[in-house]
Amino acid sequence: MRTELLFATNNANKLREAREILEPLGFDIISMKEAGVQIEPDETGDTFVRNAEIKACDVFNELDIRMPVIADDSGLCVKALGGRPGVYSARYAPEGERCAKLLEEMKDVPKGERDAYFECAIVYVDKYVCESFTGRCEGEIGFEERGENGFGYDPVFVRDGRTLAEMSAEEKNAISHRGAAMEKLVAYLRESYGV
């Protein structure tokens, strides 16, 4: 038996990755468009978990027919920048300009001091239930954009010598913050509901 989850995101790349990760495990991921929901929740929280809660709850409350909802809030935290852009990763610069702006800001930071990590909070909401799961992916910021895959900051995020944008979808999902958080979500759903 398959389990349906509505993914409260307006980011097509997150939707694709959620499907890659969760569909082989027996979950069908419904998009907001498919559910007929069209909202842009106000991400007023100052943590990834809080913003994911806001997105999941806002969308859950819009549904005519109830179904479990998940939301993802994620971002890149750079040590040399005191953790920025963090929860503001989507607002740091327009899509397509984020990597260049980050490389410019990091241009004087030497190799060895460019540690960074991606963080992802997944929140699961159903009637009477709100649970959060987090995952992290450690790496460093490169000196140039490399690779064509992935999205967002993937072309400048280096892990074991390659950027996430140089990895296949399977390779990225196996080590990513999103993959790690979703693995915990799946363990929870299996344990609590036997799905």
Q: How many CB atoms lie within 10 A of CB 130?
A: 14
Of the candidates 5, 71, 85, the residue with the CA atom closest to the CA atom of residue 39: 71
Contact with ligand ITT (CB under 6 A): which of 84, 115, 131, 151?
Answer: 151
State which residue, 27 or 159, has the beta carbon closest to ligand ITT: 159
- Site mask for ligand ITT (CB under 6 A), range 9-48, x = bound: xxx--x----------------------------x-----
Q: Does residue number 163 form part of the binding site for ligand ITT (CB under 6 A)? A: no
DSSP state of 97: T
Q: Does residue number 142 form part of the binding site for ligand ITT (CB under 6 A)? A: no
Q: Give dist(CA 71, CA 55) in Å, integer.
A: 6
Q: Does residue number 134 form part of the binding site for ligand ITT (CB under 6 A)? A: no
**At 6, is the secondary structure helix, strand, or coil?**
strand
73 assigned to active site: yes
- Site mask for ligand ITT (CB under 6 A), range 49-68, x = bound: ------x-------------
Q: Does residue number 159 form part of the binding site for ligand ITT (CB under 6 A)? A: no
Q: Which residue number has the CB closest to ligand ITT?
A: 152
Strands of the sheet containing 115-126, edge to edge, are 27-30, 3-7, 69-78, 115-126, 129-141, 157-159, 162-163
Per DSSP, the chain holds a count of helices (H) and strands (E) of 6, 7
Q: Give dist(CA 51, CA 26) in Å, integer.
A: 27
**CA-based radius of gyration for the chain:** 17
Q: Does residue number 132 form part of the binding site for ligand ITT (CB under 6 A)? A: no
Set 58, 72, 73, 154: catalytic member = 73
| Catalytically active residues, by annotation | 73
**Which parts of this chain interact with ligand ITT (CB under 6 A)?**
9-11, 14, 43, 55, 72-76, 89-90, 98, 118, 150-154, 176, 178
